[in-house]
Chain A
Amino acid sequence: MSGYQPLQPWSWLLAPMLVSLFATIIIATPVRFLGLALPEPVFPMTLAFAWAVIRPSILGPFLLLVSGVFLDLFWHGELGLWAFCLVTVYGLSLLVRNLMVGQSVRVLWTWYGGFTLLAFTIVFLFTASEAKAMPNLMNTAWQALVTILLFPFARRLIDTFEDADVRFR
Chain B
Amino acid sequence: MSFRDGPLQDLKIPLAWTATVATIVAGVASLALLLDDQRAAAKTPQDRPQPVRSQFDEAMGPVSSLFAAPLRWAGSAGDYLKDYFNAVDENRRLKAEMASLLQYREKAFALKNINSRYEALLKLRTEPEAPMVSARVVDDVRGSFNHARLIDAGTDQGVKIGNPVLSEHGVIGRVVGVSKTVSRVMLLTDVTSRTAVLVNSTNARAILAGDGGDAPKLSYLRGKDPVKVGDVILTSGDGGLYPRGLPVGVADQDMFHQWRVRLYSDRSSIDYVRVMLFVDFSQLVDEAALNTRSAPPVTAAEKAQVEAAVAARTVSPRPGSADVPTPAPKTPAAKPAAAQKPAPVKPAPAPSVAQPPGPGR
Which A residues are within 8 Å of any B CB, using their own CB? 25-26, 28-32, 37, 40, 56-62, 64-65, 68-69, 73-81, 83-84, 87-88, 90-91, 94, 120, 123-124, 127, 130-131, 133-136, 138-140, 142-144, 165, 167-168
Contacts and interface: CB of A to CB of B under 8 A. Distances in A.
26 contacts: A25-B63, A25-B139, A28-B139, A29-B68, A29-B140, A32-B75, A58-B19, A61-B19, A61-B25, A76-B146, A78-B38, A80-B31, A80-B34, A87-B27, A87-B30, A91-B23, A94-B19, A94-B20, A94-B23, A127-B145, A135-B144, A135-B191, A139-B144, A139-B213, A140-B144, A144-B144
A142 B145 CA distance: 12
Contact of A30 (B15, B139, B213): B139
Interface in B22-60: 22-27, 29-38, 52-53, 56, 60
A22 to B, nearest CB: 8
A63 to B, nearest CB: 9
Interface of B: 4, 9-10, 12, 15-16, 18-20, 22-27, 29-38, 52-53, 56, 60, 63-64, 67-68, 71-72, 74-75, 137-146, 148-149, 176-177, 184, 186, 191-192, 209, 211-214, 268-271
A25 B67 CA distance: 8
A100 to B, nearest CB: 15
Contacts of A136: 144, 191, 211-213
Given A130-B192, A133-B211, A77 B26 contact: no
Dominant secondary structure of chain A at its interface with chain B = helix
A133 B209 contact: yes
A143 B144 contact: yes
B252 to A, nearest CB: 15
Contact of B191 (A26, A28, A127): A127
Contacts of A69: 30, 33
A4 to B, nearest CB: 14
Contacts of A130: 192
